Amino acid sequence: MPELPEVEVTRLSFADRIAGARILSVDMGKPLRWPLQCLPSSLVGRTVVAVRRRGKYLILDLSEGLLLVHLGMSGSVSFASHLPPAGVHDHFAMRTSQGQLRLNDPRRFGAVVYARGEDDPVAQKLLGKLGMEPLTDDFDLRLFHSGLKRRKSSIKQVLLAGDVVVGVGNIYASEALFHSGIRPTTRASSLSLARTRRLHQAIRSVLAQAVLAGGSTLRDFSDAQGAGGHFQLEVMVYGRAGQGCGVCKSTIRAIRQGQRSSFFCPVCQKA
């Protein structure tokens, strides 16, 4: 599943090129996770002002309203002056004066949703409960610590929930917990301010490193220009069960938490 780094990498790969483009046509394929919420033809003539990101949502600010784009489990966005004919898994195509934007989503868990603005109930339903953005100054240590103090679940589950801090997906949660020396099963509310500070720093560092590496391509992720990511080559614990820890040489372990695999070093992450 594309997580925050992959979505940010996707944004960076086409945001500047589509800014200022006038929408010429919009075509929909098979139904996606949520309806578009407007007639495709009603978008024609509007201008793409900018592309932002909130959590795992791409936000295309239009001259009137905005489009929220979610990549779902296996979606990817392409943007180019010329694209091949739409395939069976291409479910949204927006032709603009500067190129064509297309969403390819084999599993159709992604979505493109129109809203009049961020205060629109349609947008609030998707964005309103998202946690702090970890790569911005809004990711406040004290607020992060107080949010964790209210949660009795394991720290790994709290990070994945996205209502305290957004976008720390499975790969990046495992890596951040390793770098901060915290076991994924540790109760979130038990973390001291000092340990929370280490985790806060590790989350920012791991996510920033992943963006620089182009995200993680475990199966089929690619950015809007078709380039894959390389962060999966830099991981310390994720997907390395049975291998030696790069720090202490102990064997990396894997456990199941909420239907997801968690990876950790039993020595470097004692509690």
Active site residue 3: yes
Among the listed residues 149, 204, 253, 260, the single catalytic one is: 260
pLDDT of residue 219: 58
Active site residue 260: yes
CATH 1.10.8.50 given to domain 141-264: yes
Q: What pTM was computed for the model?
A: 0.92
pLDDT of residue 221: 66
pLDDT of residue 259: 84
Among the listed residues 3, 6, 8, 175, the single catalytic one is: 3
Instruction: Retrieve residue 184's tokens.
Output: 């994924």
CATH 3.20.190.10 given to domain 4-127: yes
pLDDT of residue 216: 77
Instruction: Retrieve residue 179's tokens.
Output: 């770098």
Among the listed residues 17, 56, 102, 195, the single catalytic one is: 56
Chain position carrying tokens 């180019």: 80
Active site residue 2: yes
Question: Which parts of the chain have pLDDT scores under 70?
Answer: 217-221, 223-224, 229
**Which CA distances in Å does 64 have to 53, 60, 116?**
18, 11, 7
DSSP result, 100-161:
EEEEE-TT---EEEEESSTTSHHHHHHHTT--B-TTSTT--HHHHHHHHHT--SBHHHHHHH
Domains 4-127 and 141-264 share a fold: no
- Domain ranges, ordered by start, for the chain: 4-127, 141-264
Rounded Cα distance, 106 and 125, in Å: 25
